[in-house]
Structure 1
Amino acid sequence: MAAAVAYFAFLPAPVSPFSGGAMAPLNAPAWSLLYELYANLVLAIILPWLTNRLLALIIFVTGTILLTAALNGIGLVGYNLSDFGLGFVRTFFSISMGVSLYRLRRHIPTAGIHPIVLPIIVIAVVQLPPNPMYSFAFVLFGSPLILAAGVASSASNVASRYGASSSFAIYALHVPILGIASGVISRMNLASELATGLIIVACAIFAPYVDRHFDRPLRYSLKPA
């Protein structure tokens, strides 16, 4: 019950035998969304003073902290409440980097990058065996470069529009969909390959529906008139 109240109040779940120390035991991906809410709140408060120099300083300080953690064998943590400090640093670094890239987007030269190249690169890099230094290098260099390359490609097609509208819903809902699907699969004794395909299709179909009929209208209703 306490975890449910915390979840809908946008708070970390209190430590209990049920939560096991996890920040969002009801829906695991929500742990990063909590950090993003808090980091965005801080950025909104300091926005009048958020110059490019201050952004660069934030990126340098948080990046140095993440590098120190990686050199000490600490990976990209944040899922558990005990990792709150480092998890917040990790999120603040990423959001600050994103804001900087957005502000500099008009200065990124357009390149003739085929849209299919970027998903292939992303799929390839996530197949590498995880370790703290690789994770740090990807967050510090790989992810921003991929994002900048996406901006530079200036491509707009069905796949890119679908990804832009559905990625958040897929991230936020894939664990609940997996939980429901696992129960159905076990009762129907479906083959694992078929089950995996059905789960992927369900996420792909359900995500744009949620974006169009729930998430987007809700965000528009919260905007000031």
Structure 2
Amino acid sequence: MTTFSFFKLRARRFYPVYFVGLVLGALLAAALLATGSPSAIPTGEFSIALASALVFFPFILGGPIAPLNVPAWSLIYELAANVLYAWWMRLGGRGLYLILALSFLGFSFFSFIDGSANIGVDFHQMPAGILRTIFSFSAGIAVHRLRGEGYNHSPWVYLLFVAALLLAPVGADWRAIYDLVCIGFLFPLSIWALSKCSNEIAPNFMGLLGTLSFPMYAIHWPMIWLVNGFANRISPDAPPVFIGVVFLLILIATSYLLEQYMDRPLRERWRSKVAPAR
């Protein structure tokens, strides 16, 4: 398979759900623009941002590189990383681990400068975003290669451990170190351990998490704005926790519908077309 053929396969995998998130974000941006909201993107920038996003190109006029659906910045980089994977997959263990180490060191440099690892969203942070994506993608390949045989143990201890890491209160002085320890070591080790779970509960539960993870990520940002907007109109005094629970339920339900009735049928149709060619 040529690199361009591989790119087309990955773009087809990314684009449908990515497009839904883009449409939701564009409708939200248009509504803010029409109502004269101070948070609205100017008309000229809106057009350029939409045109760029439609072809998986970063917005280069400053600010977020994906202003219509901010989390899509990582999807743009990830698609590029998938193309590079055609080269990476030829690397042996040493080459992969060298890329892993160098990208983590570079990303750590930018994280210490910024004060946290929450970087890569804006155009001026593009070098950090590229290194962040290279490390994450390489770490995923490494975990896959090292997963080995499964064991009959419960996944819940690892899930609770990750939840505790996410909820831990960390001061600004330690934020960068904490983020890097989690991203560079604790999270990959937890995923590696979870990949080895093989009891009766884990496959179905982990499979559902994996199935919904991409649509949830692709649409969660515009959904947050939409749910918050409706909540403020319907019940301005509603507790934030209640709004958060409602948002999560709506997000899960919407992601499930996208997976079942759009993303999966499209994947199966494209797979059936590619299989005979092989």
Query: Percentage identity across aligned positions?
Result: 28
Give the aligned partner of residue 153 of structure 1: 197
Structure 2 segments unaligned to the other structure (5+ residues): 1-46
1:60 aligns with 2:101: yes
Aligned residues: 218
Within a 5 Å distance, the mapping from 1:1-225 to structure 2 comes to: 1-15=47-61, 21-44=63-86, 46-47=87-88, 49-76=90-117, 77-106=119-148, 110-128=150-168, 129=170, 131-155=175-199, 156-189=202-235, 191-192=238-239, 193-223=241-271, 224-225=274-275
Q: Secondary structure of 1:49's partner?
A: coil
TM-score (norm 1): 0.87
Structure 1 segments unaligned to the other structure (5+ residues): none
State how far apart, in whole Å, the 2-side matches of 1:154 and 1:48 are: 27
Q: Determine which structure has greater relative contact order: mean sequence separation of CA pairs < 8 Å that are 6+ residues apart, divided by chain length.
A: 2
Distance 1:80 1:206, change over 3 A: same
Measured after TM superposition, the shift of residue 112 of structure 1 is 4.5
State how far apart, in whole Å, the 1-side matches of 2:245 and 2:81 are: 36
- Deviation per residue, 1:45-92 (Å, 9 max, x gap): x14632222111111211222233344455321000111111111110
Q: 2:88 touches 2:96 (CA, 8 Å); kept in 1?
A: no
Q: Secondary structure of 2:66's partner?
A: coil
Measured after TM superposition, the shift of residue 9 of structure 1 is 0.8
State how far apart, in whole Å, the 2-side matches of 1:200 and 1:30 are: 19
